[in-house]
Structure 1
């Protein structure tokens, strides 16, 4: 009986080892595709096991060499097999690990992807109106970079809730996809906002891809419209809270965990309440939402991206360069002085003690004490001997 148990255990071990050898690693997909991201855009990572197994897999995400899951924040969020980053920054570059685990068979496998954040400005995708949120039924237009329209740009769409991708070839009429129609005045495509329109949009061409924008379509009664792309420091920014059926008194604007930042009184007929920042700064960047006075209506959160003023950095660099140019000669001189002090005194300080011209002292009348001290040493010694030893 013991022998049979050992044989069964050994057979299970061999079978498990064979399964591990044949088990493929998970595949990490990046949307928009490519390992180079642009500052300010959104990115979605998806981890999937490409196997015909009907077993359930669970997924865990890590960044770089960390052994603990990344902390979710306003910009970073994890949902099952998906990892999303809003408004990509330089510090988001690095290795992202996906760990797939099958608990029933105790199988664990990993895969990673390395993301880089480019400092180059991308070809611009145009969104009109420029906002991240739309009510269902509203229309918006997407247009690939006009200056390179002849190079075969294609508009692409990815929705995290749908596994398929949508491709629109701009050289042809836009297909009737979720209400998409051909624009009459441009080469872009006009969409009627619907549930299938939410997600990422970007353009692909022979030279790479354009910037990407993330659009949210809401079926609720209130949304907050923020600029779809990053704004520059110092710009005027308007956040607009839109009601589908009209406002109910006060509208409260909230930022992240800071709470209320602005409250507006309006009539019940107003459908758009604005909050304006005349001179936006990087401190204004963050996640915003608006709420009705009674708290029954709250918009989905929307991110405002602010690009620091590069001119300020240029002045800082210039100032540091001037300081360094002044410090280098001073440092060299101090080193020379330490090694050869006479070099510094003779070359840098011409009026040293030996070179000062002698100036005659003014003539004065000497008193007795001065006359006595003018006597020679021998005479003074003789006088002292006579006073101390009178018989000599």
Structure 2
């Protein structure tokens, strides 16, 4: 029974290829590695040859580490390559092994928009030969050095490229990808560190907001439990509960300085007495053992409301 591992593809980068090109000559050595990708070691190199995904090693248990192909063959080693570790899957690259005498050296990884790219057409033993270049089977031009450069790339530069050298033949076609996301070219470790930094920043902001809300809540509780000033209760139009009798409070009157009076004759602090008005019964029916509150106005400061009664107005007078 064949067991297929379930892997999730993440933007963890691309495998590294040595030599760094898509096309390779027959019998050349090739190394595909993902060691250090995303800051991890122990990747398993996978490849799809003729629509069949297999490991790049004869032994599954010992298949971690670089995939070293000592002698490449067209039908055995041409295909897609990627890396897997712990259910994670890297991006895929393409490798073409040709039995011909001409190859096109093109980038293995996607090229970023706005960057430059150089294609090289070469024979296995001879360099710097005049070559013709094609894109999507359309002739682009000739080069006496066997190279063609592209500047300030855009999406329109993506496509299948190939080349030919007189008396030697034509190369295979390779797809060149042009992407607008420069993050694909960055080190996966840098992306990982950036992700961690953003996460820590968000957590810090949430903690700060929580502390501010907690501090605000404590301030409200402190303010509620503090003595009530005349100015804060005189304007209240809602019934409030009186739990204890009011005691005289000593308040300090503000100096009333006028043009007609000298500074030495300013008003002295005076004591105040609270007068409660419009005392009503509690918000429950009266009965045996329950307090009974009148619904009339308290005329003097000597009369204080009963406990568990409600009042609507409090006035303060000097005594």
**TM-score scaled to structure 2, two decimals?**
0.48
Greater helix share, structure number: 1
Q: Which has the higher contact order (CA 8 A, sep 6+)?
A: 2
User: Greater CA radius of gyration, 1 or 2?
Assistant: 2
Q: TM-score, normalised by structure 1?
A: 0.40
